Structure 1
Amino acid sequence: MTEKSGKQNKLNDLKLYGAPWYMTVFVCIVVIAAAYLGALATDFASIMILIIAYGILFFELGERLPIWNTYIGGGVLAAFFGTAIVRQLSLIPKVYIDPINEFIGGDTVGFTTLWIIVLITGSVLSLEKKILLKSFAGYFPAILGGLAAAMLFGSIGGLIFGISPVTVILKYVLPVMGGGNGAGAVPMSEIYEQVTGKSAVSYYAFAIIILTIANIMSILAGAFLNAFGDKHPSLTGDKKTLLRNNTFNAEDSEEAEPTLSDLCGAILVIFGSYAVGQLFSGYLLPTILGAPIHAYAYMIVFVVILSATGVVPENIRAGARRLQKFMNKSCAVVMMAGLGFDFDLGELVNACTVSNVVIAFLIVLGAIVGSALVGQLVGFYPIDSAITAGLCMANRGGNGDVAVLGAAKRMDLMAYAQLSSRLGGGIVLIIASFLFSFFM
């Protein structure tokens, strides 16, 4: 076989997003052209294929770009930053920006919600009972270790710029580690106003700035820790579990391919569990010690109980794992590209003063170090503990969890990430209410 014919065969075998490359390229060209001509609608199907069309281009570039594909985050991070640049440069018609944001995180569609609840249920039901109970028992000490170290490192950064440790903890650390924007910075600013009598807007305006910087650093740190773990495999596991010497491959437990009936049962468990979470969060027990508890947090607890008690039959567990794998593999591009369209690079640039960047960096670094050290003590792999209990506390909540785990290539750890953002964030809100009362 000649070199030319070999290259030709390799090109013919190339697939992009599961289809022959020429088919994928044709679809992307048609979709983007239709959008620019104003012919593409803004319904669910149109917006989804538009996100895919843009996302595939950057994803494939990121997977093939030297250095980027190994150390920066590969295709998923390229899809995120690529679409953010497209938005910033107005290379997509503005009429599609709001529908994309509604598709990803809006109250009507909220594709992020679907993504998260499928990953939560599938990942929890994939764990053996012993691994499940041990890992969740040791997880909260890892979260608290990351929070304590973030306060310490952040305070050191504040002293460099003449900012008192109290100010750094109240205005820098708490917003960063508080569960993101909607579940963290917003209620925290309201608590600030209730406790101090000062304007919630003034607190929130700065909180969202420092949170935005820390969120980007967390995403990049996730990619770095993944690459570091690949170089030092003793510090990380199979990217599906936290416990050392307790790997578990869901594929090994599946005796047969799940049937359509199994998938239907899994859908019932997934959406039913989410409804239970909403029932507790919205009516039965919306707050604990004054801190609002998100539906995801209650959902995780409920699914853990289902898994630990063995209530869910194996065939339905297999169906949930299959749905998780499908969402993880096929929709990562959709999620990351959609989040990129919702990210304002200009907001980030304006917030990047030297003091903000340094202090935010040290807070994120503290979250990594503290959660890794405590994770090691409780039997976790330090890198996986740092990513979930550390970075997923320091990012921008639910969407930040998706971005961090995507960059770290650990989507199977979504349940732990959501524990950080939801229950961990709730703990920070409780701490904030006491600290505001004492120091402000």
Structure 2
Amino acid sequence: MDTRIGIIPVPVFVLLFALLAGFTYTGDIKGDISMMIAVLVIGGFTCAEIGKRIPVLRSIGAGAIFATFIPSALAYYKLIPPQIEKSIIEFTKYTNFLYLFIACIIVGSILGMDRNVLVKGFVKIFVPLALGSIAAGVVGTLVGTLLGLGAHHSFFFVVLPIMAGGVGEGAIPLSIGYSEILHQPQGDVFAQILPPIMLGSLTAIILSGLLNYVGKQYPSLTGEGRLQPAEHDDMDSTREEVASETGGPMDVSTVAAAGLAAITLYLMGVMCHRLFGLPAPVAMLFLAVLAKLTSAVS
């Protein structure tokens, strides 16, 4: 049980795989949450584990690359049983669990930062970040225009999606915002912006892996993920510190309350969209930063 594939103990993995094979053979794969958790966990962590075990490539993020591209290839070449593919599509479409993922990852990332670091780090990197973003937008748009894609399409459907930051944090929220503005199905918009994001993400993963390798060879060149010297994240606190600050240990109810806080911020973003037309994920991002800066959340 201590040997795992991703987060799955090997005996559980074998049993789950056999069960899913049996359900598939009998045509009894359904889109309920318990079944889909098993399907997605088995598929995702298997692909990631393959990538993590390949020499050289594992050092440049092969786990994330394989978890992204192998399922796409399997679906394209019709190697996934139709009932499994249909159930996954229906589950993703009708449960909108991606919204929960977006809420947790954005709110968790913002609230997990040290407040002082957030303020000082933002001031420190604002100018180079702004100038770099402008330069990237201009150069990318010009190249796309010269290649015949047009300035509008190049900027909004190639450059901006790549700059948005990956699939979960970038493509999905961006496609939701685009679909609301353009009055098009979110899936159609997502299909348009995903290919350039995949290319951009692949490039970013490879370059990040190379930078990570250089950082390990020459530690003086890296801050080990810290924006400033001697900074710390709020999440670095020990259990004893958390207990002294909150008056009790970190228990299940505390985690549940945190999850509900993230969902509440997302629903506030949805309300902002109804009132002001601002896409919900964008509004949620601003609200999370505001909550952090004002210490509204312990």
**Alignment TM-score, normalising by the size of structure 2:** 0.77
C-alpha displacement of 1:50: 1.1
Q: Does 1:248 align with 2:232?
A: yes
User: Retained in 2: the 8 A contact 1:124–1:303?
Assistant: yes
What CA distance in whole angstroms lies between the structure 2 residues aligned with 1:140 and 1:37?
59
Q: Which moved more, 1:262-271 or 1:246-255?
A: 246-255
The match for 2:256 is: 264
Deviation at 1:43, TM superposition (A): 0.8
C-alpha distance in structure 2 between counterparts of 1:304 and 1:295, whole Å: 14
Q: Is the 8 A contact 2:29 2:87 kept in 1?
A: no
SS of structure 1 residue aligned to 2:95? coil
RMSD: 3.2
Shift of 1:304: 1.7
Residue of structure 2 equivalent to 1:33: 22
Question: Is 1:305 matched up with 2:290?
Answer: yes
Is 2:112 the counterpart of 1:126? yes
Q: Structure 2 unaligned segments of length 5 or more: list them.
A: 162-170, 244-248
111-120 or 139-148: which moved more? 139-148
Give the C-alpha shift of residue 227 in structure 1: 0.5
| AA aligned opposite 2:274 | G
Q: Which residue of structure 1 lines up, in the alignment, with residue 168 of structure 2? A: none
Q: Which residue of 1 aligns with 2:45?
A: 56
Q: Give the Cα separation in 2 of the matches to 1:99 and 1:63.
A: 28
Alignment TM-score, normalising by the size of structure 1: 0.54
Q: Distance in 1 between matches of 2:157 and 2:177?
A: 7
Residue 111 to residue 32, structure 1, CA distance change in 2 (3 Å): farther
> Match of 1:177, SS?
helix
Residues in 1 aligned to 2:237 and 2:106: alpha-carbon distance in whole angstroms? 18
Partner of 1:84: 72
CA contact (8 A) 2:4 2:10 kept: yes
* Runs of at least 5 residues in structure 1 that lack an aligned partner in the other structure: 1-11, 191-199, 287-292, 314-440
Match of 1:74 among 53, 62, 71: 62
Cα 1:122–1:156 shift into 2, 3 Å? closer
Does the 8 Å contact 1:59/1:74 carry over to 2?
yes
The alpha-carbon distance between structure 1 residues 207 and 53, as it changes in their structure 2 partners (threshold 3 A), is closer
Alignment partners' CA distance in 1, 2:59 and 2:266: 36
The 1:261–1:14 alpha-carbon spacing in structure 2 relative to 1, beyond 3 Å, is closer
Alignment pair present for 1:146 and 2:137? no
Q: Deviations over 1:264-309 (max 9, x none)?
A: 32133112111211111112x21xxxxxx21122112222222222
Return closer, same or farther for 1:29/1:58 CA change in 2, 3 Å cut-off.
farther
In the alignment, which residue of structure 2 is the partner of 1:112? 98
**Aligned pairs, how many?**
271
Find the aligned partners of 2:190 and 2:113 in 1 and give their Cα distance: 37
How far residue 141 of structure 1 moved from its aligned partner, in angstroms, is 6.7
Q: Describe the superposition over 1:149-175 as per-residue Cα deviations: whole angstroms up to 9, x where unpaired.
A: 33224424654x5x4xxx642232232
CA contact (8 A) 1:102 1:110 kept: no
Q: Which residue of 2 aligns with 1:94?
A: 82
Query: Does structure 1 retain, via aligned residues, the 8 Å contact 2:47–2:67?
Result: yes
Q: Secondary structure at the match of 1:55?
A: helix
Work out which structure has the larger RCO, using CA pairs closer than 8 Å and 6 or more positions apart in sequence: 1
Residues 369-380 of structure 1 mapped to structure 2, 5 A cutoff: none
Q: Does the 8 Å contact 1:155/1:169 carry over to 2?
A: yes
Instruction: Tell me whether 1:173 sits opposite 2:143 in the alignment.
Output: no
Shift of 1:220: 0.2
Shift of 1:143: 5.1
Once residues 191 and 134 of structure 2 are traced to their aligned partners in structure 1, the CA distance between those partners, rounded to angstroms, is 18
